[in-house]
Amino acid sequence: MKDYYQILGVSERATEREIKQAHRALALRLHPDRTPDPVAQARFLEVQEAYDVLGDAHRRLAYDLIRERAREIVRQSLSPSPYDPPPAPVRRGPRGPDAYTQLIARYAPYARRFSALILVFCLSLVLDWALPLRRYPNEYVSGKRVIFVSTSRSNPRIAYIISTPNTTFKLRDDYGGSLHPGQPLTVWRTPIWRIVRRIQPRHQPAFGPYGGSIYGTFAFWPALLLIVSVVGLYPGGSNELRVNAATTAGLLLCVVLFMLLQ
């Protein structure tokens, strides 16, 4: 079906005057008396045909009704009919895990083993704390070194690293300053990790090392490490929980080892 509005170059809402003006301009330009081009002559005939329809109000109304009906038929042919069978459902396989879940699942067994090692380490600390201290009655000061424990210029503070044949420990300046090389001592330390718990110079009361110990002032850190390792070994825990617990335990282990070996 020809689009007469397009042939005349006007819109479907064009007035009668606009249609006449468009026809007049095209007829003057395409008239056979003005141009011998056969293409222009064929175009002139289409313009005349379009104007014969759109220039008459009744014929234009009938033409518009036919165009609208044709558009409706096209829309119905493109939309699904209620009598058409429903489309077959698209079958999709089970959705696989994403890359993050796969990575967590891959490292979860290693995280569990690491948490088990941390738990064994924590149990060794508990056993070391519970067993009787090992006593060294015949120790003596074999070395003495000054260290600074405060960088403040207005109030500098020092401590002493005291060495004996079997132990090394740190003392405050008021205790370490009174010790001299060769002075006899009695030292108590734990049997497994060899942490000095008490020092007693001869004919003097016993005292503890400088800054406490991992079994005293800093006992919170190994206790927290123990709890995190148990969480990482919880049977009902997810893979993500195990990996996170192992990561946290690794960071806490660094803190505990620093306090243990200083």
**DSSP-derived secondary structure letter, 155:** S
Q: What is the pLDDT of residue 157?
A: 78
CATH class of 4-78: mainly alpha
Average pLDDT, the chain: 86
For residues 98 and 135, which has the higher predicted lDDT (pLDDT)? 135
pLDDT in tens, 99-116: 888 999 999 999 999 999
- Report the candidate in 149, 101, 135, 112 with the shortest Cα–Cα distance to residue 246: 112
The answer to whether residues 53 and 47 touch, using CB atoms and an 8 Å cutoff, is no
Tokens matching residue 59: 């014929």
Q: How much of the chain is helix, strand and coil, in % rounded to 5?
A: 50, 15, 35
Q: What is the pLDDT of residue 95?
A: 60
Work out the pLDDT band at 140, boundaries 50, 70, 90.
Answer: very high
Q: What is the pLDDT of residue 4?
A: 87
pLDDT in tens, 47-105: 888 899 888 888 888 888 888 888 888 777 776 655 556 666 666 656 656 888 899 99
Q: What is the pLDDT of residue 246?
A: 93
- Boundaries of every domain in the chain: 4-78, 99-261
Tell me the CA end-to-end span of the chain in Å, nearest whole number.
96
Q: What is the pLDDT of residue 207?
A: 87
Name the most confidently modeled range: 5-14, 50-59, 118-127. 118-127
Phi-psi region at 211: left, alpha or beta (left = phi > 0; alpha = psi -120 to 50): left
pLDDT in tens, 184-231: 999 999 999 988 999 999 888 998 888 767 888 788 999 999 999 999
Q: What is the pLDDT of residue 258?
A: 87
Q: What is the pLDDT of residue 90?
A: 61
Q: What is the pLDDT of residue 93?
A: 55
Q: What is the pLDDT of residue 33?
A: 80
- Report the candidate in 248, 236, 239 with the shortest Cα–Cα distance to residue 102: 239
Which residues on neighbouring strands pair with residue 189, listed in sequence order? 134, 196
Q: What is the pLDDT of residue 67?
A: 85
Q: What is the pLDDT of residue 231?
A: 92
pLDDT in tens, 143-187: 998 887 665 666 667 888 999 999 998 888 888 888 889 999 999
